Amino acid sequence: MISVAIDGPSGAGKSTISRKAAELYGFIYVDTGAIYRTIGLASKLYGIDADNSAAVVEMLPKLSIKMMYNDAGEQRMYLDGNDVSRDIRLPEVSMLASKVSAIPEVRAFLVEMQRSMAREHDVIMDGRDIGTVILPDADLKIFLTADAEDRARRRYDELTAKGVECSFDEVLADMIKRDEQDTARAAAPLKPADDAVLLDTSGNTLGQSIEAVCGLISEKTGRQAVKR
Ligand code: DC
């Protein structure tokens, strides 16, 4: 099996680029942020303070979290039997996901779900600790970054396109805070693996970033895109 790990801060284009590259190479795209988001959403739905680690940890065994792929190959998240794929995208849930993801027990709870995907399929997996913790033997590791303003602009455009009301300044402030939290935490912090290729997408068009990632995939895995 081939595995490609793509890590980096929020809004660097990880999910859009990974999804497209996976489609081109016939790999499965695994969005690991969606799993943390599902736990973040669960804390909200069950009225649990995401800053209260003990309460979050106590909630974990009561949750049923499932990751499934529909006929179109899209990853869907289910919480206690309900499809929550849309709800987990709310900005409020981004911050809750970042908070619960700093809890070591939450990370441990999700390790096997992520690794089993890579055992069973060729994957492009994106997140914060894929190259460092989840798939340390990945065939290719990419650390994707871009200027904070660039990243906030992309995230803002994405949210407004989905009809979510927000201001650019709010999105930028939220993103900077979340990146600080994700980088400063003790458990699996956001950082490039020693053997990761650093890719700065500032000023790139989406097409250029996809080209760059696909070039690396072909070079490191020996696979060629099956679809163009
Ligand atoms: O990729 P995202 O923005 O959907 O992720 C939401 C939060 O989940 C992010 O702020 C940090 C956390 N996360 C993580 O800690 N480890 C991952 N592999 C993926 C996401």
Terminal C-alpha separation, the chain = 22
Is the CB of residue 97 below 6 angstroms from any atom belonging to ligand 1? yes
Q: Whose CA is nearest to atom 12 of ligand 1?
A: 98
Q: Atom 1 in ligand 1: which residue has the minimum CA distance?
A: 33
Q: Write out the H or E segment, with its range, that includes residue 140.
A: strand 140-145
Q: What are the tens digits of pLDDT across the range 47-79?
A: 999 999 999 999 999 999 999 999 988 999 999
Task: Ligand 1, residue 36: give the atom nearest the CA.
Answer: 8
pLDDT tens-digit series, residues 152-170 = 998 899 889 988 889 999 9
Residues 196, 216 contacting (CB under 8 angstroms): no
CA 174, chain centre distance (Å): 16
What is the distance between the alpha carbons of residues 18 and 33, in angstroms, rounded to a whole number? 13
- Please state, in angstroms and rounded to a whole number, the distance separating the CA atoms of residues 200 and 193: 15
Residue with CA closest to ligand 1 atom 14: 128
Q: Residue 141 phi/psi, 5° resolution? A: -125, 130
